Every structure is written in structure tokens, then in C-alpha cells.
Amino acid sequence: MVFVRMLTQAAAARGVRVDDLLEHHGVNPSLLEALDSRVPHALLVDLWEQVPRRLNDAALGLRLAQAVPLGAFDLVEYCMRNSPDLATCYQKLTRWQRLLHDGARYHLEVEGDMARISHRPPLEVPPHAVDFILAKLLRIGQQLTGVAFSPRGVALPYPRPSDDLEHTRVFGASVRFSQPYTCLELDRAVLELPIQGTDPNLAAVLDRFAQTRIEGLPRALDLVDELGERIRKALRGTVPDAATLARQMGMSARTLSRRLHERGLTYQEVLDQARRELALRHVLNKDLKLLEVAFLLGFSEVSNFYRAFRRWTGTTPAAYRRESLGV
């Protein structure tokens, strides 16, 4: 819900209303202030796509990450702020990420002298949202440590935009586009930077409160992860139907639909995301012709595959392959 509040407030501050989007997804504006309200994932996608368009702001995600004040992300951010060092700060994010959104999938990995903070969500994340996530992770680290460190690298999963000056301003010259993953790369030494003004006693209280809040949320997205994996395995020239996969998961199609609805999702959305993940993987396989990729993903017409791929990435499969592989 914090992302919905942030986007609606950003639009309202510039005289743009998005009530029509909330209404379309059955969300009452009064729910925006409820701490634990969950919203359909499709609403977040719509907001991240429509708000920048309505504001005519091609770099909204990057600008919001710089403008949103500390504390905007409620309990999770306060837990992060009361950490002894930046490593613990980012670990708190990975621990309490469900309080932000069910689709949050942050991972902190350290290898050699490199630290990577990646985001591997089970469902589609629009480019503006990707920009915001990585820019906010960088910004909050700089703010809490008081050190203006720069990333070693930034990997973005969409093609280079026609104007990437704002990306360079925020991240430096280390941005790579059309990557099969989303990640912020830092020097490992940066993780040792101390957080300013931390309170260990308050940290313990906040962590206990976060645990209580987590336990009060609906069941985690394990169901969606399992469903997505089953869809990916079944996509071999045919599109699996919900009833068949529901039976494999030991429930009725109606129960599966209800449990997805509780998470603000539909079967079609999970299917679409599974197709997108496989499409990005298959297109980067030079041994597969694009006609074969369309067949493997269960598209009856190549033109339907091309339309879907452009919706997912903003470009064509051929252009994505050329830019990613240089062929």
C-alpha cells in the first residue's frame, strides 16, 4: 500500500487524479491509509505505467526516489534506520519486505569484493518501478550513512531509453540495460559503513513489532511461486489451464482463484509473468529462432507473441536480442 500512496500523492501534488484507476481495480481511496491493506498487483502496474504518462515524466521513478523523504516506507524503513551498519540495514529490508508488498523479492548477496542487492519479483515490474527500487536502495544507503558512495554497477531489465541522462545522473556511468535481472552492485566495503543515529534498544522493539505485523498478514506468496513454476514447466507449445494446475496443487480451480484474489492476483497475471520470464530467457538463446520461442510460449500466432513482448519490454524480440547479445 505504501507504493500506491506514494504514487497517488505524487500525481495529486501536480494536479493529476488517478481515482479512475483505483475504481477500476475495486480499491476505495479510503483504504490508502490502512497500514496492512493489500491491493491488486495489477493496480500497482497500472499506476507505475499511467502516472508517469499522465505527468509526462519519463524519469518519474528516478525522481521520486530522490524526492521521497525518509520515513515514507513506514515500519520497514524505521527498522532499516536502526541498524548498526549498511549490511544489516539491507538485511532488514530482505527480512521485512512483505510489509511493503507481496511481490517484493529483495536479495543481498556478497561475492568477493562485490555486494549485490537484487530484486527478483514473481510478477511483472514496470520500468519506472524498477528505476525507483534501485535508485531508492542507493539513496537510502547514502542518507543513512551520510556517505555519497556510488554503485559499481546497475543492471536494468529493459532496453536503453532514448534519453538516459537521468539514469547517468543518479547511478553514474555504470548502468547496463537489457539485462536478464535487476540488481544494484556495490563495493563490499560499503556494507561496513555505520548507520548514523541508530538506537539498538529501539531496533529490538521495532523488529518485534515487524514480526507481529508479518504474522498478521495473509499467507505468503509461496502459492504464487509454486503456480508460476508449474506454468513455466508446462509451457511447451501449449498453455496450461488453471483447473489442471489447481488439481496438481491439490485444490479446486475455484479455491485457486480465491487464494490468488486474496493476494490481488489473477491466474492470467501469473501466466503472463511466467511467459515474460521465459520469453526473456529464450530470446537470449541464439540457438532458438523467434518462431520457436513463440511456439514454446504457447502463442498461436507469432504476431501475438510480438505484441506481448513489446508490452513486456517496450521493444521487439529481434531488437532485444540484438541489443543484449550484439548480434
**Residues 226-237: pLDDT tens digits?**
888 889 888 888
Q: Are residues 184 and 66 in the same domain?
A: yes
Q: Are residues 317 and 244 in the same domain?
A: yes
With beta carbons less than 8 A apart as the criterion, state whether 273 and 122 touch: yes
Q: Are residues 53 and 64 in the same domain?
A: no
Q: Are residues 6 and 73 in the same domain?
A: no
Q: Are residues 33 and 81 in the same domain?
A: no
Q: Is the pLDDT of residue 33 over 70?
A: no
Q: Are residues 98 and 190 in the same domain?
A: yes
Give the CATH number of the domain where residue 317 resides. 1.10.10.60
| pLDDT tens track for 70-115 | 777 889 999 999 999 999 999 999 999 888 877 778 989 998 999 9
Q: Are residues 159 and 77 in the same domain?
A: yes
Domain hosting residue 293, numbered range: 222-325
Q: Which of 158, 183, 215 is the last residue of a domain?
A: 215
Q: Which of 185, 215, 245 is the last residue of a domain?
A: 215
Q: Are residues 44 and 190 in the same domain?
A: no
Number of structural domains the chain divides into: 3
Residues 6+ apart with CB under 8 A from 86: 141, 144, 145, 190, 191, 192, 193, 194, 195
pTM over 0.85: no
Q: Write down the mean pLDDT value for the chain.
A: 87
User: How, if at all, do strands 153-155 and 106-111 pair?
Assistant: unpaired
